[in-house]
Structure formats: structure tokens, C-alpha cells
Amino acid sequence: MARYIFWRLADSIPTVLLVLTLVFIAMRILPGDPAIAALGDNALPDQIAVFREKMGLNVPLWRQYLNFLHGVVTLDLGRSLISNTPVVNLLAHHLPYTIELTIAATLIGVTAGIPMGVLAATHRNRPADSAVRLYSLVGYAIPDFYLGALLLIVFSLNLGWFPINGGGDDFPSRMYHIVLPALTLAFLKSAFMGKLARTSLLEVFGKDYVRTARAKGAREGRVIYRHALRNAMLPLTTGLGMSLLATLSGSVAVELVFNRPGIGTLLISGISERDYAVIQGGVIVFALFVVVVNLMIDLLYIVVDPRIRVQ
């Protein structure tokens, strides 16, 4: 097992390298000179020359690439063109907000979604099942930025129960600020996980080992939670990975709606201000997030499925 983990970790190194290379290439093939983009059309030639020198754009491409990789490894992603703050500092400030939002949304979504799936699967074609299916349908259909705005208007503006924007400072205030954005993202997640849990459970219910469990005298609760759900965890783990990534992209819009200082907000403002270094840093963080989530899901499989464990 330790070997599997080691190899899986080693395996993600080329992936990360590929991702970084893609980011590097993408930033270089963007139309226009970054110097002109940053300084504007009316920049003087010597201004541009200074800028190019400062950004390391005057060396051959392969040197730029190596410098870029070196920068990533030493956590030096350059400085924001606008605020002159090191990009790493900006990311370090914004990342916790995005991570806590993703975690909160996932916790709520999973703890609401899976029991709903169980309810639907055990009450197949009965009112409870129809209700869960309707919920899933609505969850899929409603865009998260719209739902976020809706919640914001109702619970923050009209009722005044929750703050209108920001991310909070100390822990209680951060948890207070996170409620509405997390619920917004959790809605789609619970719809997705609920539907997936229902389908996976219905499939598992037809398996021979579920009949075996009943034949030895296990009661329904035990059959569902000890036998069926543990097997349904395999597709649910895959689903969780997909859903985590969806939450990440969803968080960009939701952070914007709630004006939370997350990576999404940072990225959006970087794009609107043509702040190359910030965009590059944000994209790297998102890409690494995808790699890390996939790694975590793969490691989670080991916990869930003993057949992977022993190989």
C-alpha cells in the first residue's frame, strides 16, 4: 500500500510539469506583447524595454521556461503589475477563502446529498423518491450565480440574517460569512451526489451479496448502510472528485456574487486589469488544485475498495 501511495505521488509529478508547461505556453501565445498590454498602447519604447527587462522577457524562450519553473519551485511567481505585491503573497491571502468555501460546500452537499439518495433508493417510485428527483432536477437547472444572488437578496438584503459581502476576519466571522456562498454551491452538489447515490444504491441493491446479507438475518438499516452503501461508495468517490472540481469552477462565480476575497475573485480582477503575473499565479493554483483533488480521490479509493489496496 505504501508503494501504491508512493507511485501515485510520483505519478503526479509529470502531470504537474505538464500543467505548468501549458500555463507557460498559454501565457506566451496570448495575442499582443505583455509589455504593451500592461503599459498601454501609448507606452514609450524605453518604458517597454525596462518592463521587458524587469519581467525577464529579453532572454531566449527556453531560459524563460527554466526561470519560470525555478520561480514556481521557489515560490517566486513575480509581482503584481498593479499593486507590486508578490503574487505568492496575494495567493496566500486569497487561497484560504476558496479552500474553506470548497470544504464547507462539500461537507454540506455530501451530508445532505447521500441521505437523500438513500431515501430515494429505498423508496423507489414513491413520493419521497419523486421529491428527491425533483430536487435534483432543480439543483441541476439553477445556475449557481443566480441562486447565490437570490439567497443574497432574500437572506442578506431583505431579512438581514447574513452579511452582504466579504469573507470575514476571525474564525466565527468567517464561518458566518461562508453560510450563504457554501449553501449556494452545496445545492448543486447535493443534487448531484443525491442522484448519484440513488443510482448507485439501486444498482447495488440488485447484487447477490445484498441478498446474502438479508439471508443471514441483517435488518434493512444494516443491509443499506453496512452492505449496500459501502459498495456504492466507489462510484460516489468518483462523483465526489468530479463534484469538487465543479465546485471550484463554481466558486469563481459565487465569490464574485458574494464579493469574497478568494482565488476566483483574484483571477477575475487580474484578468480585467491585465495583471499577467496574477493571472498566471491563479491559473497555476487552479491547475494544481485539480491535480491535488485527483490525487486525493485516488488515495480515497484505497480506503474505500480493498481490491485496490492489496494490488
Partner 1 sequence: MTAPLLRIENLSVEFGPRANPIRVVDDVSFEIEAGGSVGVVGESGSGKSMTSLSILRLVPEPPGRISGGRILFDGADLLALPRNQMPDIRGRDVAMIFQEPMSSLNPVMTIGDQIGEAILLHQDLNSAQRRKRVLELLRLVGIPDPAGRIDAYPHQFSGGMRQRVMIAMAVACNPRLLIADEPTTALDVTIQAQVLALLKDVRQRLGTAILLISHDLGIIADSCERVVVMYAGRVVEEGDVRSIFRNPAHPYTRALLKSIPRLDDERDRLYQIPGSVPLAGSVTQGCAFRARCPLRVETCAVDRPPLFAFGPSHKAACWVTAEAAQARSAAEASP
Give me the residues that bind partner 1 (CB under 8 A), please.
207-209, 211-219, 222, 226-227, 230-231, 233, 304-307, 310
The smaller minimum CB distance to partner 1, of residues 63 and 230, is found at 230
The smaller minimum CB distance to partner 1, of residues 2 and 310, is found at 310
The smaller minimum CB distance to partner 1, of residues 4 and 65, is found at 4
The smaller minimum CB distance to partner 1, of residues 160 and 206, is found at 206
Quick one: the chain helix, strand, coil %, rounded to 5?
Answer: 80, 0, 20
The length of the chain is: 311
Rounded least distance, CB 213 to partner 1, Å: 7
DSSP-derived letter for residue 79 is B
Residue 309 vs residues 116, 196, 303: alpha-carbon distances, Å: 29, 24, 8
Rounded least distance, CB 68 to partner 1, Å: 45
**Long-range contact set of residues 26-29: C-beta below 8 Å, sequence gap at least 24:** 26/283, 27/276, 27/279, 27/280, 28/61, 28/64
Cell triple for residue 63? 531560459
Rounded least distance, CB 217 to partner 1, Å: 4
How far apart (Å, rounded) are the C-alpha atoms in residues 145 and 251?
9
Closest Cα partner for 56 from 79, 26, 89? 79
- Beta partners for residue 86, in sequence order: 79
Rounded least distance, CB 127 to partner 1, Å: 16
The smaller minimum CB distance to partner 1, of residues 44 and 310, is found at 310
Rounded least distance, CB 3 to partner 1, Å: 18
The smaller minimum CB distance to partner 1, of residues 70 and 309, is found at 309
Q: How far apart are the first and last CA of the chain?
A: 8
Helix 229-258 vs helix 263-272: angle between axes, to the nearest 10 degrees? Answer: 40
- Measured in whole angstroms, the distance separating CA 70 from the mean position of its chain's CA atoms is 26
Rounded least distance, CB 218 to partner 1, Å: 6
The smaller minimum CB distance to partner 1, of residues 37 and 304, is found at 304
Closest Cα partner for 23 from 279, 244, 273? 279
Rounded least distance, CB 308 to partner 1, Å: 11
